[in-house]
A and B are shown apart, each in its own frame.
Chain A
Amino acid sequence: MSTTRTRTPLVRGRVGELMPRRDAEPKVTGAFAYSSDLEAEGMLFAVTVRSPHPHARIAAIDTAAAVATAGVHAVLTHADVPGRKTVGMHRADQPVLVVDVVRYQGEPVVIVAADDLETARRAAVLVVVTYEVLEPVADPERGEVLRDVRIRHGDQSLGADVVVSGSYEVGMQDQAFLGPESGLAIPDGDGGVDLHVATQWLHLDQEQICAALDLPPAKVRVHLAGVGGAFGGREDVSMQIHACLLALRTGRPVKMVYTREESFFGHVHRHPAWMRYEHGATPEGDLVYVRAEILLDGGAYASSSPAVVSNAACFAAGPYRVQRATIDARVVMTNNPPCGAMRGFGAVQVAVAHEAQMDLLAAALGIDPVDLRVRNALKTGDRMITGQVIDGPAPVRELLEGLRAMPLPLERGSLRADLRELPGGVANTTHGEGVRRGVGYAIGFKNMGFAEGFDDYSTARVRVSLVNGEPLVEVHTAACEVGQGLVTVLEQIARTELGFEHVVVLPADTTVGSAGSSSASRQTWMTGGAVKAACEAVRERLHELAADRSVEETVEHHHRPTFPLDPETGQGDAQVALCFAAHRAVCDVDTDLGLVRVVEIATTQDVGRIMNPAQCEGQIQGGIAQGLGLALMEEIKTENGLVRNPNFTDYLIPTILDMPPVRLAISETPHPDAPYGLNGVGEPPTIASTPAIAAALRAATGRPVTRVPVRPDDLI
């Protein structure tokens, strides 16, 4: 599993090299400008008035007192939205500002711009919204079905000798990104606006802003500002339209920065899931069937729920060969917080279930859990449960074997242990008493790119000119650097293709064609592909390059077409490519206190091609941290539609002390369809890391552990 690399000593920083990212130092030293750090001459500050109720009818909005406040420049409601009053990724069902009915707690109702933040806040308090409170639909079982995906694969009458079943639950996880939603809108004095914002897909923002503002695309220019993490939570618009509305209304630049608490209401979360599974196998351990009923709570608006539920269904059986699959997955709408895209996108939830089921089945069969997985591992040429034949790499077996072969961390010695290595850490909870170790394995997979017939593409403009006789390469795309290191990789690609040292990746904006979203593990493949193709086109014309003549090419890169799923059977070639990663968790559990120390996570992941080793490892480490968070602590708690923990005191994410060393082995099976043979890297680490930890906890405690995040009381 390796690729040949061209070695050219001339230019450093090419594809495959460990090239340090340019934003690393400014980020570490605090010099990096995030979208919340922007300023403009004469700017106003904006705040949002949000509904405290998850479900209510608005009887009246009285803005008079706020408008009359000195220093206030605009107080806007839905009536001030000139164009389409709703937004949404899949369907425009979410009001820009609530029109009549509030559907979730924290929904924006009124926006206020004032000379300074304090004045804006005080004015916001003076806005009187009269609500007629309605009973929220908080129980997903009572929610209205937004989409259900049925998969009927194979002979539906097939039964099996060995059957195991279980019910599993996944809590609502938050992206918990570092930088709250924020941006700066600057009116151009000519009816148009420039928005600088932290986002994932500039053109989708532009499209939605244009619709709401009733402006043509040329009048709305969206520029990427410094992004403090995204993980899916910035795909839907948050403050984009609001800031633009206020800027155009006041004729002044408008800055809008959500507070940490608002941020919890400002973006969609990972869908909580309830799953009932049944697996049937032959006595030898061949999977015969997988039945699953999957319920996702999509909350108040559609967001990307229709696609998430499709993914949950398509990957419901895990990366295994099964003769028959009977999957019923549905996503419902309630008055809970809207859920949508988050790293792993539907594959995360089902992995918790299918991997627990594989362990149950292994136990029922008396087979080693890794052996069972290897025995049933999908490989190239096999059919997925959607009927799609996998023609790209599917190194499931290799990843599992590789993982199993990796050395285990040392057993705790008999010497007095270092407290920092024990569950509970330095808090003196144990010196080894009650501590039992467990090891758990899991593997997961998901698609790279968008599915089900979406024509996904990215655009790159590459220009070479001579500056003082030296070639300068400028790469311009609308692809969002969200922390994954894309800018560095694009630079490496241009250097590799053109062989010139001096490459500048221009700031991303909408003056070049769409790059699609920085999501679905797709951006290096798609925009990397576009940059590569544009460089190739430029290369063909390099002979034209002269002191007074630059060479420029703009190229769109599309991936191969995909197709919708059949609505009755869920069969169809819906996926572009698949990415896989396996995880082994070693956990020490204080079985008297329910405290967990994740001792180590080992992982094998196939990335097709390592474009930049440090960044590749960074994605894997970060993804595992997020998987660990879901396994052990991260959950947005709601009660009758109300969020109880919208802050980092009550919504806990792992600290560096909770994060174990990661032992990783990255393999490179080139993907024939992809530039450089690369594959998506960002999402797979979050998929199987969670179930691997759950499995280790089961092994250590003998407790069933059917719900994540696992609480201490689940383990004692």
Chain B
Amino acid sequence: MSTFCRPTTLADALAALAEPGSRVLAGGTDLSGLIDRGLASPTTVIDVQDAGLDRIERCGAGVRIGATATLATVAVSDLLTRWTALREAAAAAASPLLRNVATVGGNLCQHTRCWYYRGVEWTCWLGGGDTCFAQIGEHERHGLQPGDCISAHPSDLAPALIVSDATVVVASATGIREQPVAALYRRPDVDDRSLLTLGPDEVITHVVLPAPPDASVYLREGQREAFSFPLVGLAVARFGERLVMAAAGVANIPHLLDPDDVLHDLPGNPQSAWKRTVLATLASRGRTAVTM
């Protein structure tokens, strides 16, 4: 059984988080599901939604987004009009109901949707077991990178933030650090199966956007018109001549692409190789969209 607290200052939240076994809760749209399925069993759940982290504000030439700002506010924020890819990604994720509660920090930290991982019947490699059931089972919607875990990263926001050169501010009781969004993620290995670089006592407080790109777009293939996870989500941004591309749905973490060779490193797994065509097509259409 876990206890619940809702601190009203960041300092209190960080102090609570310093206790082993505690876990940050924001909108709860992902964490509640993980707890239900026994995939997370925190002793203390620390709801950070009252910790004053929900503002979106100007910050130099860019914008600073509080980690508990909802996807719905990001999608319509006047301050973010020049970050098209980000707004489009936020508007495309999940459903209106979920977007009203799901937060930016939670979205970046959500766990894989791989149904073997989420299913109570399987304890797969990522969950600490020995077998990647997707590789011996069905993986047509999985990633394009071979490896121990071929899951497909689910966050729409992550690629959009990565191509915007965004950073995350991470705080713990012992201090604050700032790092590129991409550095939030790590490829899991035998000794450490986590997909995030965050320590258990750390919380994302903000996402910081530097000056906006000259143009950006988020292209997303889903299984239906709304309310489905991205099969492939591709963010493309252009800063002057520089093109940046990053994708969800192709590797177990957000994947930075080489705009001149988008399929590099992504040979595909037997059933998911079709996504290569999708990625290449989206990349070429995305390039057109930001250079038109």
Contacts and interface: CB of A to CB of B under 8 A. Distances in A.
A430 interface: yes
A649 B231 CA distance: 13
Interface string A631-642: 011000101001
B121 A642 contact: yes
Contacts, number: 88
Interface stretch (A148-156, A587-595, A669-677, A692-700): A587-595
B275 to A, nearest CB: 8
Given A642-B119, A644-B119, A633 B278 contact: no
Contact of B226 (A425, A430, A592, A712): A425
B21 interface: no
B92 interface: yes
B91 to A, nearest CB: 8
Interface residues of B, number: 34
B278 A594 contact: yes
B270 to A, nearest CB: 12
Contacts of A429: 219-221, 282, 285
B285 A424 contact: no
Given A594-B278, A644-B115, A652-B228, A52 B221 contact: no
Interface string A257-287: 0000000000000000000000000000000
A225 to B, nearest CB: 26
Given A429-B221, A645-B115, A593 B92 contact: no
A416 B217 CA distance: 17
Nearest to B233: A427
Interface string B112-135: 010110011100000000000000
B60 interface: no
Contacts of B267: none
A37 interface: no
A654 interface: yes
A540 interface: no
Nearest to A105: B121
A716 interface: yes
A425 B218 CA distance: 13
B277 A716 contact: yes
A713 B140 contact: yes
A658 interface: yes
B278 A428 contact: no
A655 interface: yes
A70 interface: no
A544 interface: no
B289 interface: yes
Contact of A712 (B115, B217, B221): B221
Contacts of B4: none
B138 A428 contact: no
A592 B220 contact: no
A52 B224 CA distance: 30
B223 A427 contact: no
A592 B113 contact: no
B247 to A, nearest CB: 13
A388 B110 CA distance: 59
Contacts of A654: 224
Contacts of A633: 223-224
A658 B227 CA distance: 11
Given A424-B221, A712-B231, A649 B282 contact: no
Contacts of A711: 140
Contacts of B285: 428-430, 433
B219 A428 contact: yes
Interface in A412-458: 424-430, 433-434
Interface of B: 88, 91-92, 113, 115-116, 119-121, 137-138, 140, 217-229, 231, 274, 277-278, 281-282, 285-286, 289
